[in-house]
Structure formats: structure tokens, C-alpha cells
Amino acid sequence: VAKVLDAARKAVTADALDPDMPRPLRSAVTFVLGAVFADVEVEVREHVLGLLHGRAPPAPPPPPRRNPLARALHGLRAAILYTAKPYDLSVWRQLRSPGFWLLKAVSVFPLYGVQPAYFILTFLLI
């Protein structure tokens, strides 16, 4: 287990460090990754020892039940942000979406403070 974790630590550290990164930042990243992997090593050892001694790992706690209003607001937030800034659609696909055009029209409407309100709302939703 220690060999696997050491190899993983070296691989992650090598991937995280850029040759052009400033030296203080490199040392900070190395320090943080060392601390994280120390915790990971403890957790993995406890888990492996528990499995070897026949103890089942503890079941994760059930997700908390959310208020229906909170779920609805979260869904609305997700819909607005995805329509405005989709991460997996090309610009050509966005141009076919009526919601995209509606949000784009609101974002360029110059009267009555609509444009600043739109961008403040977008900022708050992010």
C-alpha cells in the first residue's frame, strides 16, 4: 500500500508542478500535496486494515433532504447559468436555442438598468 501511495504522490506532484512555476509556489504546492497525501495514507491504511480484519466500511450518511423551494431555486439557477454559459455546446448549437437569444437580448438591453441587473444577477448566481 505504501509503495502505491508513494507512486501516486510522486505522479500527482509531478503533474502539479510546472517547470515555469515560481520557486515559492512550487514549494507551497509540494508542501500542500505532502500534507494531503499524509492524510490520504492514514485513511487508506485504516480502510485496508478494516477490510483485512473483516470490518465493513461504514456506510455513507444519507444525503440531507432539501426543502422543495431550495430544490426549485437550485434548478432555476442551473437552468439560467447553463442557458447563458453552456460548457458543452458549440456556438452554433447555442444560436439555435431560444433561451440563449432571450438572455442575450436581456444582456444587451440598455434602458432602465436591465443590463447591469442582468450581470449582477449572473455574478450572484455563479
109-118: pLDDT as tens digits: 989 999 999 9
| Same-domain pairing of 7 and 35 | yes
Q: Is residue 60 part of a domain?
A: no
Q: Is residue 72 part of a domain?
A: yes
Q: Is residue 76 part of a domain?
A: yes
| Same-domain pairing of 27 and 73 | no
| Same-domain pairing of 23 and 48 | yes
| Same-domain pairing of 45 and 81 | no
| Same-domain pairing of 80 and 48 | no
| Same-domain pairing of 115 and 76 | yes
Using the predicted structure, report yes or no on whether residue 102 has a pLDDT greater than 80.
yes
At 47-83, the pLDDT tens digits run 888 778 777 667 788 888 878 888 899 999 999 999 9
Q: Is residue 47 part of a domain?
A: yes
Domain count within the chain: 2
| Same-domain pairing of 45 and 75 | no
Using the predicted structure, report yes or no on whether residue 87 has a pLDDT greater than 70.
yes
Q: Report CA Rg, the chain.
A: 24
Q: Is residue 63 part of a domain?
A: no
| Same-domain pairing of 36 and 85 | no
Domain that holds residue 98: 68-125
Residues 107 and 118: beta-carbon distance below 8 Å? yes
CA distance readout (Å), 38 to 23, 44, 47, 105: 22, 10, 14, 52
Q: Is residue 94 part of a domain?
A: yes
